[in-house]
Structure 1
Amino acid sequence: MGCCCCCGHERTDTPVERKGWARVDAVLSTFCEKLENWRILLVSGVCVALGLSQHLQGMHHAGFANPALAAVVLSGLPLGYEAIRTLIAEKRITSALLITLAMIAALSIGETFAAGEVAFIMALGEKLEAFSVRRARKGVKSLVKLKALVNDKLHVGDVVPVAPGAAFPCDGEVVEGETTVDQSIITGESLPVRKVPGDPVFCGTLNRYGFVRVKARAVGGNSSLARTIRLVDEADKHRAPIQRIADRWAAWLVPLALLVAIGTFLVWSLVLGSGVHKALVCAVTVLVTFCPCALALATPTAIVAAIGQATKRGVLVKTGEALEKASRVDTVAFDKTGTLTTGTWANNLRRDQEGRILAGENLEVSDTLRPQAAKTVADLKSLGIASCLLTGDHAAIAEKFAADCGIAAVKADLLPEDKVNAVKELSASGAHVAMVGDGVNDAAAMKYASVGIAMAGAGTDIATEASDIAVMNDNIASVAYVMRLARACVRTIRFNITLSMTINAVAVTCGVVGCLTPVWGALVHNAGSFIVVLNAALLYDRRMKSI
């Protein structure tokens, strides 16, 4: 922080001064963190309840003798310090600054209960958000806790014994023994899957009953579990545009609130001649009801709840932005092999008792359509989403599978760059495109689509890393599920914002005309905040169409 001295040179902070501020900041931050726990919040709540009791008994002017003052210190101090620290250190206005100003204004006119109530309600709202976030992320945390199961000391080709009840330390292939495996953590399958020699197993999945030996195929950071954990980590590093908009609103809400509050004071004191105290009460009520608690709390809660619901269904949404974009998708472009089909080949040949092909048989080999493929296309159509097929297969094969799925638009014999061009053409026509694939040849098209969705269960690392959404359960029906979830998430956010702004507008208006006191203004405003936060949290357990 610089200033000008008498010699005209600009003064800058010395390293000693910066170090001194760092010490002060560390001490205050540590002190405030100690106040941010449920026990302190409970004490604040009791103090606010005592203050309310005092208020209802007619002791409106207890001032600093009001027990709610303790809530201002215990719950309001951490909030105020963080708001001021952010303003000074980051030059950024947050919603906490407006709430801090409202508390200070309420205290200045002796409305101690209103100040304590605002501090307590905001602290409680933050705790509810943290609870919702932890609850929504419980599926994600179950993946991260398994990180210790990834054995970095194994090498490809090693044969590893795995006893019943133990987790597989790598991706591999059963070479000896038979067992059943709980692989829900990777694929989302609810029932154990039987494994015999030649069958694949995944790192982190649980060996239920039999003793087996497994030959390592992918180890350490290349295992399916390590890839899943990396995808989970990416989900916390991005923010959806709709969330950033909510954050930016605080930058103009603070000056707007101050202008309206000042205007209210001037009108009541100078125009209406109602006296300074009445004018101050109305101005403070305006500041209290302007606090944008719901905007700061409801939006991230809805996004994280939606990501959490997807995770427990075996679908990893990497970013909140992916949800926002998926909500606008009107066209889904499917790859064929490994996406609409299983990617495993079957034949219709008759064989003798020794397994030899009978003479005269025609060699007919074909891929197998996924059981849910046709239903998925139909579900997307019911959502108003068109489907098309982009494949490198020959036209005759592509059209056959497309017809079986109910897809009319087909482009065949495509190289990877042709798929990119097809996605570009769709986007240029005004479509919001989701590209669904599983192979290296789909990765580039995924990047050019509005949303890239990878069938990650059997897909390649490149396709999975290029995607915005990874279907770990390898169920094609998850594509329609994600579209429904994304739309539900965005609807929830928009409803929450609309409801909170409506409540704020009504409360502010009532404050301006003198119908509300700071106490009732805080109660009405924060009741609305609770409604939208709880509505967002319910998204985690909302019943969506099964996949």
Structure 2
Amino acid sequence: MFVEEKPGAIRHTVDGREYFFCSTQCLNEFTAPEKELKKLKTITGVSIALTIPITVLTYLMILPKEINSYVLLALAIPVQFWAGWRFYKGTRDAIKARASNMDTLIAVGTTAAFLYSTLVTVMPGLFPFEGVYFETAAIIITLILIGRLLETRTKEKASNAVRKLLDLQPRMARVLRDGGKREEEVPVEQVQEGDLFLVRPGERIPTDGTVTEGSSSVDESAVTGESIPVDKSAGAQVIGATINKSGLLKARATKVGQDTVLSQIIALVQEARTGKAPMQRMADQIAKYFVPAVIAVAVASALAWYFIGGIGLTFSLLAFVSVIIIACPCALGIATPAALMMGTGKGAENGILFKGGEYLEIARKVRTVVFDKTGTLTKGQPEVTDVMALSETMGGQQELLRLAAIAESGSEHTLGQSVVRKAKEQGLVVASPESFEVVSGHGLKAGYAGHAIIIGNRKMMADNGVAVPDKVSATMSRLETEGKTATLVSVDGRLAGIVAMADTVKEHAREAIDSLKEMGIQVIMLTGDNERTAKAIASSLGIDRVIAQVLPQEKEQVIARLKSEGKGAVAMVGDGINDAPALARADLGIAIGSGTDVAKETGGIILIKNDLRDVVAALELGRKTVSKIKQNLFWAFAYNTGLIPIAAGALVPAFGAQVYEWLPLLAGGAMAMSSVSVVANSLLLGRYRPRFAAAGRPEKEQMRTEKELKQPYYHYTEAT
């Protein structure tokens, strides 16, 4: 529920930020979620264990009537005042906030039932009827505790995302002392701005800095999400927690502690996750008006019968208590969880994991979907797309690919490994080179079977006296415009060909984009890659709006800006650590199942099958599930609300006061019917099939897609 920042409001401060809560229960769940979950499991288990015998003894009457009522009272006391204590605390906090919520309705209804039943038990002559409502109060409390437990379990791993981010940070750093003469290993927390540190191949860079000496390629995918390692030499910036792949680097620390890129990402994830306004629960919204209305009806009926009907104090109190009891819907506790269990189960069948009910509600409101590029729209791994042989004397494309793969087999660079992988896929034998030398930032040299092989960029060829014709340069430029990385290959001093690589688009990505557009949803690509490459990918997918060259910490700001435009809820689809703040900041975070653990922990929806069409299925399923929740809430209230006039005495003029003898039975019937309606309505979700899910596509479309997948993706061309 909405909480105003009043002096008396419940508040809690974390890292200088102040949070406001509607109840102490919400505060405890925020500060110690694991402890609260364990406590709730225990309370719910005990409540179930006590409610079962209460229900059995109520309807089977195994014991004598006088003894039976006292046994029921003894069993009901711990359920009412131990298991149900959280509802009393919630009511107290709601009263302080001058509002009413579901806790108020539950506390008032169950207390009325318990106190009335207790008076009937210990003072049998006080009321004219001997029926008790102990089982009504116990069932209401137990069912709603079960609902709360199901809801709380979805939040059990809320803090794991930040914990996994912290695990990326190296524990130790090799700092150079005495002007670089002495190497000292110190905890990374002790690294000071300006310190010179050393990073060996395979080690994580301890903090943000500037390279002062050495050259290497650095895998920044953990932070930036981009799959291709970045070449680093003197003057280049390095980011803490990224991995040094090949060479030895010396760097000077420029940012330490909370100022590093990784620390900023961690802070953004924490802020975005905890800074979200809590979802207004539909049940609380109804209770906001329902509770005062029920109490008003109960008081009015009691006063009317006492002063106007002249029925006496006893029957007037009975009318008051009856209205309160009959109005408390027990099915309310399972109205939302039942639909959520079916909705999430149906999602799991289609490779979609919903992590909480709030994400289902938000899914139906999404009007903008933002996709990360690398690893989300694309495969996140460069692959060979073009092999162009420039000389027939070298044996054409196959021989060019074989020699290039032999030379690259000595390299750890991701681009080089893609060449090796492609050659092996073509059945070519890739031997080890006899000599190998890396020219950092430009390419490599290798020797094999008497051949001198050079692979690299234009400068690499110029430095080694290999001429590159204008026509070849134009072809290189065309490939680069298409978002590909093109490299030149020379053999024995002659230009032999071009090998181009790119991070290729995932299967079904275009289909998913088209489907979202059909639903009237705006699609945006958000990436840290350069604008030329991003636009090339976007064009092939039919995405009109591209936001490129965005730093990891800026992605969250872009999402916040899109949300401020007020065009409905914003969903973010991503897979990398760099996407975590944006996933958390978005109204709905959708994480790709093949992505990092942090992205999956931060996202509200996880696509297990790594199929982008499931983004569409998730939004559709969310809409359908929320519709079922609303229907369930209606049925949860309908039966009980319909009996309020009877409890208020509408039938007394026709049948006399004896009608109250039937109220316990009517209350039980209302509970049974509302619960059955809720469960049956939720089960109907099992028949629902997402229109855009992979499993639900028309047979003709499946055959067309399967045929397309059999077509070779890569093409080989002769260039003269």
Match among 301, 308, 331 for residue 271 of structure 1: 308
Residue identity opposite 1:46 in structure 2: V
Cα distance in structure 2, aligned partners of 1:480 and 1:535: 26
Cα distance in structure 1, aligned partners of 2:359 and 2:90: 31
1:239-289 CA distances to partner (integer Å, 9 max, x unpaired)?
Answer: 96244x635866875565444222201112221234445434433321122
Contact 1:240 1:320 in 2 (8 A): no
1:354-411 CA distances to partner (integer Å, 9 max, x unpaired)?
Answer: 8125975433222221112122223333443221222344445434433433333333
**Greater Rg by CA:** 2
Give the equivalent residue in structure 1 for 2:507. 371
Match among 225, 228, 246 for residue 283 of structure 2: 246
Match among 662, 672, 675 for residue 527 of structure 1: 672
Give the CA deviation at 1:339.
Answer: 0.6
Give the equivalent residue in structure 2 for 1:180. none
Q: State the TM-score, normalized to the length of structure 1.
A: 0.62
Cα distance in structure 1, aligned partners of 2:43 and 2:593: 44
Contact 2:139 2:330 in 1 (8 A): no
Give the equivalent residue in structure 2 for 1:328. 365
Match among 626, 644, 649 for residue 490 of structure 1: 626
Pick the structure with more strand per residue: 2
Cα distance in structure 1, aligned partners of 2:128 and 2:563: 60
Task: State the superposition RMSD in angstroms.
Answer: 4.9
Q: Which runs of 5+ in 2 are unaligned?
A: 1-39, 95-102, 121-126, 161-170, 172-244, 246-268, 388-396, 405-488, 490-494, 652-658, 695-720
Cα distance in structure 2, aligned partners of 1:383 and 1:72: 56
Give the CA deviation at 1:102.
Answer: 2.4
Cα distance in structure 1, aligned partners of 2:498 and 2:608: 37
Give the equivalent residue in structure 2 for 1:434. 571
Matched, 1:74 2:92: no
Give the CA deviation at 1:342.
Answer: 0.6
Structure 1 pair 70/32, CA: closer, same or farther in 2 (3 Å)? farther
Between the two proteins, the alignment pairs up a number of residues equal to 422
Give the equivalent residue in structure 1 for 2:140. 122
Match among 618, 639, 648 for residue 503 of structure 1: 639
Cα distance in structure 1, aligned partners of 2:60 and 2:560: 64
Cα distance in structure 1, aligned partners of 2:73 and 2:542: 63
Identity %: 27
Matched, 1:338 2:375: yes
Contact 2:513 2:543 in 1 (8 A): yes
Give the equivalent residue in structure 2 for 1:291. 328
Give the equivalent residue in structure 1 for 2:54. 44
Cα distance in structure 2, aligned partners of 1:408 and 1:437: 19
Residue identity opposite 1:433 in structure 2: V
Residue identity opposite 2:320 in structure 1: A
Cα distance in structure 1, aligned partners of 2:512 and 2:77: 51
Query: Structure 1 residues 367-376 or 448-457, which shifts more?
Result: 448-457
1:472-508 CA distances to partner (integer Å, 9 max, x unpaired)?
Answer: 5433233223323332332222222233233333221
Residue identity opposite 1:530 in structure 2: S
Q: Which runs of 5+ in 1 are unaligned?
A: 1-28, 55-61, 145-154, 156-216, 218-230
Structure 1 pair 309/287, CA: closer, same or farther in 2 (3 Å)? same
Give the equivalent residue in structure 1 for 2:592. 455
Contact 1:70 1:116 in 2 (8 A): no
Q: Secondary structure at the match of 2:523?
A: strand
Listed as ranges, the matches of 1:2-401 within 5 Å are 36-38=47-49, 40-50=50-60, 65=66, 67=68, 70-75=71-76, 77-83=78-84, 87=88, 91-92=92-93, 94=103, 95-105=106-116, 108=120, 109=127, 111-119=129-137, 121-122=139-140, 125=143, 129=147, 241-243=279-281, 246=283, 256-303=293-340, 306=343, 310=347, 315-347=352-384, 348-349=386-387, 350-352=397-399, 355-356=402-403, 361-401=497-537
Q: State the TM-score, normalized to the length of structure 2.
A: 0.49
Give the CA deviation at 1:434.
Answer: 1.0
Cα distance in structure 2, aligned partners of 1:444 and 1:66: 61
1:200-242 CA distances to partner (integer Å, 9 max, x unpaired)?
Answer: xxxxxxxxxxxxxxxxx9xxxxxxxxxxxxx9xxx9xx99624
Give the CA deviation at 1:86.
Answer: 5.5
Give the CA deviation at 1:415.
Answer: 4.2
Structure 1 pair 379/365, CA: closer, same or farther in 2 (3 Å)? same
